[in-house]
Structure formats: structure tokens, C-alpha cells
Structure 1
Amino acid sequence: YFSFFLLVWFLFNLKLLWTLKPPNRTFHGHARLLSSDVYSQYESIRQGKQEIPKYFNFASDVLDKWSEIEKAGKRPSNPAFWWVNGEGEEVKWSFEELGFLSRKVANVLTKECGLQKGDRLILILPRIPEWWLVKVACMRAGIVIIPGTSQLSAKDILYRLQASKAACIVTTDKLAPAVDSVASQCQLLKAKLMVSKGSREGWLNFTELYQNQSADHSCIKTRIQDPMMIFFTSGTTGSPKMTQHSQGSLGFRPLLSERYWLDLTPSQMIWNTADTGWILTSIASFFDPWVFGSCVFMHNLPQTDSEVILNLSHGVHPCLLLVSPLDLSIAFLVFNSLRRYKFLSLKYCISGGEPLNPEVMEQWKSYTGLDIHEVYGQTEMGVICSISKGMKIKPGSMGKAAPLYDVQIVDKNANILPPGQQGEIAIRSKPIRPLGFFSEYLDNPKKTAESERGDFYVTGDRGTMDEEGYFQFIGRDDDIIISSGYRIGPFEVESALIEHPAVVETAVVSSPDPLRGEVVKAFVVLSPTFPSTDLKSLTRDLQDHVKKTTAPYKYPRKVEFVKELPKTVTGKIKRNELRDKEWGRI
């Protein structure tokens, strides 16, 4: 009888424990569990009990706070930053080491380069640790950062230096000759800092200077609306525009956005394979994971290598992998036997930059057992929509609106359209401009005004929203081409092509591609005096010319020679007609 009583008592308590078990963690609930982290300090602001602070600096208010938590032994022994290059070199930093080194770099920028608060610095580095050090150092000194991809040409660099009025440029010995070829035309450029083991005339050596520099540096006090970063974004009818972000829109935003799309903890690690010139790297490999005290993992990846991505995904144990649709597609084309990989620690996969092929999504799920969560965003806004953890995945959908944003589908008069109806994806910007918004298109009030329609900021992307609030991307409402995650304006490609002696006239549009989603296609009218017998050779020549004139990723993968281009009565080229024909819409 006693044994029977114990068994009944055990089963009763087991049932009680089961009924009392905590429900699935929500992002809000997860945040409350981590009572000691930096993120939880802003809970009262998220709940509306406290106003957003007047002053904020990501370096002192987030990174240095994590350093203090680390020193107190209240954070797991997980590095804050972990970098490898695939050739045996490795860098691991704690938050304390990151703080120490970045203070030394801040002194290099202010004492050796003569930079002051508000000065602008162009940062063109590949995925190397110095990119992270310089960014943190700039925040400590109040210097505005302008990231750029390492694929920029001399012409691209000249435009960015002149348009931004940058006082300093930081790059490698690989791009130093390109900078030198245009530096004489940039009178405001005060300092050139080269990340290299060697030396070059007219350049300061980054490594030598920061190693011998003092780490005694006091972080500048910055207002939450002070400029922090400027991103150059492609335009449809002109040169790239400067999109300015503040301390609040990039650094403070993730503190108010719950855990939403990342949902990381201090014991976890994220690996994002995006280029350092993209805003996605700033968000997913800098601000958002470090708000949560997580480890940022990075591989040098001098070129896209799907085998490296797959090997490291099951080798270094990231719990979250963020990768482009192109990288995933190549993985399946080249390494179709993914069953040999075991992704034991990988818990969460995100794809961003462009819509993901549903077939790739299905194959990834069948091989790894993991879903791919898509995100949608822009340089101006960061993450706009996402399929977060716990959300139902709908093939072809990019998820629901991010916290802080009221996302709608609107018509040309800014009227909200009902579910299922196609229109332009827009974010409410009035009466209160959300914190994650960019400040303005710098020195371009006309472009800033054109981005507003009624109470909304219009993205230029077309889409639909269903009854459950899931958004689906349909395409650009203008001529911007999104290829492999890169946003390419036709104007720059056309400007490069027209410089070639064989080209009289040209129009550049998007063209469908099974691997990249869409690619650049150029329609070219040849000069009657130019020999056109070998069009294959001429095509290669035009492609090489564009690669040399502008960033290589912008070159036209398809070229079609035509006798004339469709035009309006006023003589403007009808790109939309060429694009619709290319996509089979007419």
C-alpha cells in the first residue's frame, strides 16, 4: 500500500509539474529572464514608463556596460568577437579587450589623424578585425563612419570622397593606389590610414600606430539624434545617395525592438556572411548581437565559398547563421550531398537581401531539419519585416512588420489598401517618426521629400499583405536592380557603358536569373563606325570596361545589341518597357 501511495503521489506531482511548465518563450518573456544584461536596463523605456534618453553612445552605453558585466563574472566565458581567415590565423576578443583596443584606435584617429567630433571617415575594409575596431573607435570619438565595399573602383571612391567631404579614409594596400590616383581632387581629405604590414608614401600605418598608442581615452558624449553612419545607396536617375543614420536609429533601436529577429543570448554566437559595405553587416554583425552580449563570429571569406560556409556552420558551432539566397543556392548546386554535414549547434537560419527560392528553402529543411527565416529591409530602415522564431513560415512571404514600424500596403495617394491587393510597401512616418528611420538623404532635400507620401515613407518596393499580416515582395516600383543582395542603379552602369567608343546609347534593366533572382542586362546601340562582326568579343570587352570603371558587381551579365531604344515623345528612354519585356509582362 505504501508503494502504491508513493507511485500515486509521484504521478500526481509529475502531472502538476507538467501543467505548470512555462509556455513557449516569447521574445518579451525571454528578455525578462536575463535580468542582468544591458538589454533589460531599457525595459521601462520599452514599456513607455520612461522617455528615450537625450544622450546615447553605443560604445559607452552598450559595449562598455558589457565589459563591466564581464569583469563582474556575470557573463558566460564566450568571446564578444571571434575571427578566422581559414589559413590558421585567429582573433578572439572579450568585451574588455574590444574596449581596450578600440580606445587605442580612437587615439590614433584623434591624435595622429587630427580628426574631431563630426568629421567623416570612409571605411573600406574586407571582413577583417580592424573593421570592427575602427567602427567602435569612431563611435568613441564621435566620428561619422561611411562604410564601403572593397569592390569600389577609383571613380567610386572619388565620388564618395567628394560627396561626403570625408576627412579620412581607412583601407588596405590593395585599394591604396586607387585612392592615391584621385586624392589630389579631394582637398578636404586630411589623413589616409592603411591597414597593412608594409608602408606606402603619404599613408599612415594603422597597425604600427595603434599598437604603440595609449588606451587612455574618454568617450565623447553624443546626442541620440547625432549622426553616426552614412551609407551610399544606388539611385535610379543619378549618382548614389547618402543615407544618414543617427546614434538612435542604429545603436539604440535594437534596445527597443524586443529580441524580434535574432533572439540571441550572451552564450550564443551569430555568423553573418554579408559584405562589410552593407547595412546588414552593421546590424547583424555589430549592433544587434552586441546589444544582447552575444558573440559575433566572422570568417575572412575573400570570395563567396559555400564549402567554407557549410564546413564552418557545423564546425565552429554558431547557433545562428545569416546567409544570402545566392550563397544557399550555390551550396545546393555545388554540394548537393549535404547529408554529410551535421549542424548540431545550428538552431536558427536567416536569409536576407532578396527573396529566397522556395525550392532551396525546402531542400535546406530536408537536409538540416531547420527552417530558413526570411528578413526584408532597406538601407534607410534596417529590418522592416521578418519571420521570427515561433512564427509560421509561409513560402514566398517575408514575414510580419518589425517592432517600432507600422508597415502597410498603399496606393499612389498613400491610401491603405486591403489585404491581398498589390501596392507599394510603406512605413508610417507621421505624426511620430519611428526611431529606426534614417535621418535624411544628406545634401538632397528633394530626394528626402520624394520618399514621403502622406503619412508614410514609401520604400519603392511593391508587395501585398495577407489577412494575417504577412507581407510578400513582388518587385521594385522603380529601376533599381537587386542582384545577389546588391542594389544596383542603372545610371551608374549606363554611365560606364557610354564611355566606351562602341556605344552610342544604352539602357540598363533587370533580367530574371534562376541563381541570383535578377541580374543586370544592358541594351546597347552601337556606333555605326564601330565594327560589329564579333559581338561575343565585344560583349566581353564591354563587361570588362564596366568592371574597371565601377564596382565589378555592377557589370551587365547580359548584353543585347539593338538598333534603337524605346522612347517617350520627349526623348526619355522607356526602361519600364524593356524591363516588362524582359520579364515576359508584355
Structure 2
Amino acid sequence: MRNINLRYVDETYAPDGQLETFSVHYPDNFNFGYDIVDDIAMNDPDRRAMIWCNPEGEEHIFTFADMKRWSDKTANFLVDQGIKRGDYVLVVLRRHYQFWFVATALAKIGAVMVPATFMLKEHDLEYRLNGASISSIICTSVGEISQIADNVIDECPTVTSRILVNGAGGGTTKYDDEGNLIAVAGTVGAALSGEEGICAASIERKGWADFNSGVRAASEVFERRDTAAADPMLMYFSSGTSGNPKMVLHNSGYAVAHLITAKHWHNVQPDGVHFTIADTGWGKAVWGKYYGQWLMEACVLTYDFDRFNAGEILSLISKYQVTTLCCPPTMYRLMMSENFDAYDLSSLQYSTTAGEALNPDLFNFWKEHTGLTIYEGFGQTETPLTIANLKHSTPRSGSMGKPVPLYDVEIQRDDGSRCNTGETGEICIRMEPRPAGIMMEY
């Protein structure tokens, strides 16, 4: 571990350890793929980047050297498919390990990743493909999303390539009455992904290129290309609470700004294992499974499941010695309903939550049964973490915390004046000077 995060951050602390000031900086050509993933791969190649597993029994441990190799192969394959700098690429990959190959490869190419959930229907997908002028779709074979894409493709003229990833079960494999996996095409368990391992399961679908076969055949050598930190890197569609979802565009400063998320809220440690339970179609995935964690040189755990099972999640914490955990209160509550004390959670050192209000009964239960405080946090598709109970703070039940020192935040009335204590208003972030991590634009 080389503390490479210190290259990009200026921070000061109070005597009690609480963070007082925090800002980030990065060169004009900063690229997360080259400057973080590849840097660690070349200087600390055996450092674990991700433990990946699924209910089917497949498991892979990826080092940063592995991530460099597979992302370079992926980049070469995607370039061969016509993807270039500035292209917008829709990525629907659930929790497949290929998501991390693709995300890193697109960054290296200078293309814009547009993650999306597999739950989209025809009108949702058509709106996204046309609204963002998507050039390519990289999509899982698991579920119906590839068929949904085929149903609308004729109405989406900007799409020039479709790439299909064999999800090899993706947690959807059925079980018999005895709890045994039912064979799919004569195979069960890890063999669903092919006997040769990573990206070994090929697939054929008319009009689609086979990702796994193409990546396995691609060269491992991908030389650094010219990219700019100020260029668009990532775009999410907001949840659309008012009207259609808005397109939220981020540059590479967003990745670096997630140091506040991983270092001071999730409290990830370089030799620990962090587990954020989120599908890659949602913004919370890069909050907890990619940018900040790898800037901290930490390992993430990814479980490629289909339906949440609290008992499975609790078992994984023990099996993989998870040290830091983040999930929404609903998932914590489902864990509470299990035979909770039967699980060994002794590896856990830190717990966080976001996405909805944390009720006092859950807060108290977790403290009583694990000895750990749950630290709440808040942000949006447009931002990284903006308000939180950071490490070394003392959370108050019912409060999601204080503004993080990366941002100057006020609660304001409609006229822009500051609210009084106890008064309801809007969360507003000062934009002059413009802080890192805030969206470029809608």
C-alpha cells in the first residue's frame, strides 16, 4: 500500500481525529483507468482489487494486475467494435465482473459510460438510447433486457453496435427441492461460466457481438491514449422524481471526489474488504464498489445475486471477512429478521447506510448486536457524498449528519436566504469556486 490517495487530496484534522478541511486536485490528463488501476497494477500487482462470487458457486479473486490485463483486453475489443473517445455507451451488466472491465476500459478509451438497470422497459430504454445519442450497448444476457433492446433498436438510429455479455447464471439459476442447482445446458455451479474460467462462456444472438469471446481473443497491450480529466466520463439518468429522468454528466473529478466517500465515510482500509450492496445500474455502485475504494487501494466484494437474501449476505460477511459494510436501511432490517446472532460478524469494523431514513430501532439493534454504530450519509446522482456522519463523529439517531468539508452547504428558502434551525428548506451547495465532484451539467 502506497497511499496514492494522498497525491490527490489536501486534508487537515482536529485533535480528536475528525476531518476539518478537505479538497481534491488532479492533473489535467487524469484518467482513473491509467492513473489508479494501472498504477496499482504496475507497482503492487498482487494487491486484491475485487472478490467476486455468485449463488451458482463461482468465485474469482481479481488483483489489480488482473484488472489491468482484462480492462486492456476489453479496451482493445471495444475499439475493434468501433467505440472511440467521446462516444456514449450504455452499460447494463447487473453485478457481473465484466462491469469493472468495461468501466475501466471505457475510461481508458475516453468514452462515456452510461450505466443502466436491467429493469428498464421498452419506453425507458428507447428514451435513454435516443436522449443520450448512445452509440453502443453493452448488455447482459441474463433476463429480458437484450430482447427489450432488440424491440426498440429500429427506433434508435444512433446505436451502431450491440455487445452481449454472457452473464453465466447471474444468480438466476433455479434450485430443486433439495436445494441443489438445476443444470443449465448440462452444467451447474461455476461451470456455468465455462470450464476455462473468466469470460469463458460464449453466447450467440443475432445482431450482437459476443463480449466474452472477443475479449478473450483481444490483445493484452493497450497503450495510454490522450484523454482529459475535464471531458465527460460518466453519465447517469436520474431517478426521475419529477418528469422524465434527467441526464447527469460527470467528468473525472467525480471519481477523485469519491475519496470523501470511501476514506472518511465508508472508512475503507487498504487491507480490508468493503461490501456495498448495489446493482451497477445505480449510482451507488460506483460510490461503493469502484472509484473511492480503489483510490484507497482497497478490495471490494461483489455478489452477483438476483434476489436479496439476508441470510446469504450475512454468511458472506463471515466467509470473506468483510471489514466495512454499506447498504440501505431496508437491507439492514431484513438482516434483523434473520436468526441474526447465529452469524459470525466479528470481522466487521464499520457500518454505513444511505438511500432512506435510518430509524432509531434499527440503529439501536445494530449497536446492541454488533457493537457497531451505523453512520448515515447522503448524496445524489449529481454529487458524491455531501452530508454524512463521518468517522470519528458521534451520530445522533434521526440525523443524517453534517455537511462534509469538501462542500459549503446551506439549507435555504426558495428566495435563497438561509433557513433557521428547525426550518425546512432545500440543500444547496455553493458553486463558486466550483468544487470537484459536482455534475458538469444536465
* Offset, 1:267: 0.6
CA 256–375 in structure 1, closer or farther in 2 if over 3 Å, else same: closer
Partners of 1:322 and 1:202 lie apart in 2 by: 39
Partners of 1:265 and 1:368 lie apart in 2 by: 19
The structure, 1 or 2, with the larger RCO (C-alpha pairs under 8 Å, 6+ apart) is 2
* Offset, 1:392: 0.4
Partners of 1:163 and 1:421 lie apart in 2 by: 38
Equivalent in the alignment of 1:39: 5
Structure in which a larger fraction of residues adopt helix: 1
Equivalent in the alignment of 2:181: none
1:259 match: secondary structure: helix
2:402 to 400, 403, 419: 400
Contact 1:45 1:256 (8 Å CA) reproduced: no
CA 48–178 in structure 1, closer or farther in 2 if over 3 Å, else same: closer
* Offset, 1:235: 3.1
Equivalent in the alignment of 1:210: 215
Q: Which runs of 5 or more residues in structure 2 are unaligned?
A: 13-20, 167-201
Partners of 1:350 and 1:422 lie apart in 2 by: 25
Matches within 5 A, 1:368-447: 368-429=370-431, 431-441=432-442
Equivalent in the alignment of 1:3: none
2:356 to 346, 354, 357: 354
Partners of 1:412 and 1:160 lie apart in 2 by: 31
Contact 1:147 1:277 (8 Å CA) reproduced: yes
Letter in 2 for 1:109: L
Contact 1:258 1:403 (8 Å CA) reproduced: no
Contact 1:42 1:256 (8 Å CA) reproduced: no
Equivalent in the alignment of 1:125: 93
Partners of 2:206 and 2:9 lie apart in 1 by: 52
Equivalent in the alignment of 1:58: 32
CA 304–48 in structure 1, closer or farther in 2 if over 3 Å, else same: closer
Partners of 1:318 and 1:58 lie apart in 2 by: 25
Q: Which runs of 5 or more residues in structure 1 are unaligned?
A: 1-33, 72-76, 442-586
2:263 match: secondary structure: coil
Equivalent in the alignment of 1:181: 151
Equivalent in the alignment of 2:42: 68
Residue 278 (structure 1) aligned with residue 295 (structure 2)? no
1:347-370 per-residue CA deviation (whole Å, 9 max, x = no partner) reads 001111111121111111111111
Partners of 1:103 and 1:284 lie apart in 2 by: 23
Normalised by the length of structure 2, the TM-score is: 0.86
CA 356–257 in structure 1, closer or farther in 2 if over 3 Å, else same: closer
1:343 match: secondary structure: coil
Partners of 1:364 and 1:428 lie apart in 2 by: 35
Letter in 1 for 2:41: S
Contact 1:57 1:221 (8 Å CA) reproduced: no
1:297 match: secondary structure: strand
* Offset, 1:50: 10
> Whose radius of gyration is greater, 1 or 2?
1
Equivalent in the alignment of 2:190: none
CA 339–118 in structure 1, closer or farther in 2 if over 3 Å, else same: same
Equivalent in the alignment of 1:553: none
Letter in 1 for 2:239: S
Letter in 2 for 1:420: G
CA 316–395 in structure 1, closer or farther in 2 if over 3 Å, else same: same
Equivalent in the alignment of 2:114: 146
2:55 to 86, 101, 111: 86
CA RMSD of aligned residues (A): 2.0
CA 51–352 in structure 1, closer or farther in 2 if over 3 Å, else same: closer
Moved over 4 A (4+): 43-52, 255-258
The count of residues paired between Structure 1 and Structure 2 equals 397
Contact 2:268 2:296 (8 Å CA) reproduced: yes
> Percentage identity across aligned positions?
30
CA 190–258 in structure 1, closer or farther in 2 if over 3 Å, else same: closer
Residue 267 (structure 1) aligned with residue 274 (structure 2)? no
* Offset, 1:86: 2.4
Letter in 2 for 1:434: P
Equivalent in the alignment of 1:166: 134
* Offset, 1:186: 1.0
